[in-house]
């Protein structure tokens, strides 16, 4: 019974966090669906929303792929002296990685440091890649991912930059 309560509570928190994020993102759009904020910051390197099918997504129970039903979304926007970076990724057994982190530009990449290690966002060729250098973001209590999901190695094609929040929630 405790397991089910814990699972339901976790799902509620992830869903609530994502819905709050989506509502905030939606409030930044004009009625024509075009983002008010620019997709490029002054250097043109980071700002924007990046979208891809949830290629790591599998359905609970039968393990079938579910990438056609879910999108992964990465949003980067300037905030203060750094960037606010948000991720939502649906992965194995439909476990989710979700975070909203303040990151600083350091040596050509974005970095969020914790006492357990760092989370990096770097450009590799035509992709933005998230790296945690093997840090287990779930086991360390950072609460970034479900048990069957990880942020390390997630890549977003920079050509998939979008200004649509709705596409972040579902591919249709």
Specify the pairing of strand 127-131 against strand 155-157.
antiparallel
Domain boundaries, the chain: 2-169
Digit-coded pLDDT (tens) for 90-135: 999 999 988 899 999 999 899 998 887 889 999 988 999 999 887 7
Sign of CA pseudo-dihedral 53, 55, 60, 63 = positive
Q: What is the largest CA-CA distance in the chain?
A: 52
What is the C-alpha separation between 162 and 138, in angstroms, rounded?
29
Q: What's residue 39's pLDDT?
A: 33
The pTM (predicted TM-score) of the whole model is 0.72
Q: What's residue 166's pLDDT?
A: 67
pLDDT lower than 70: segments of the chain: 1-45, 137-143, 165-172
> 116 and 106 in contact (C-beta within 8 Å)?
no
Q: What 3-state class would DSSP assign to 71?
A: strand
């Amino acid at each position: 019974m405790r397991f089910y309560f814990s699972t339901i509570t976790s799902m509620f928190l992830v869903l609530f966090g994502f819905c709050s994020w989506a509502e905030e993102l939606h409030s930044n759009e004009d009625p024509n669906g075009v983002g008010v904020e620019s997709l490029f910051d002054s250097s043109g390197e980071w700002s924007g929303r990046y979208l891809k099918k949830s290629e790591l997504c599998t359905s609970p129970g039968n393990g079938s792929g579910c990438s056609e039903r879910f999108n992964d979304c990465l949003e980067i926007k300037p905030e203060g002296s750094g960037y606010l970076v948000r991720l939502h990724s649906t992965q194995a057994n439909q476990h989710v990685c979700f975070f909203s982190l303040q990151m600083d530009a350091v040596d050509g990449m974005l970095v969020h440091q914790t006492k357990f290690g760092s989370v990096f966002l770097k450009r590799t060729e035509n992709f933005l890649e998230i790296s945690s250098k093997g840090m287990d973001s779930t086991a360390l209590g950072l609460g970034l991912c479900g048990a069957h999901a990880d942020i390390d190695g997630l890549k977003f094609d920079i050509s998939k930059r979008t200004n649509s929040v709705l596409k972040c929630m579902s591919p249709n």
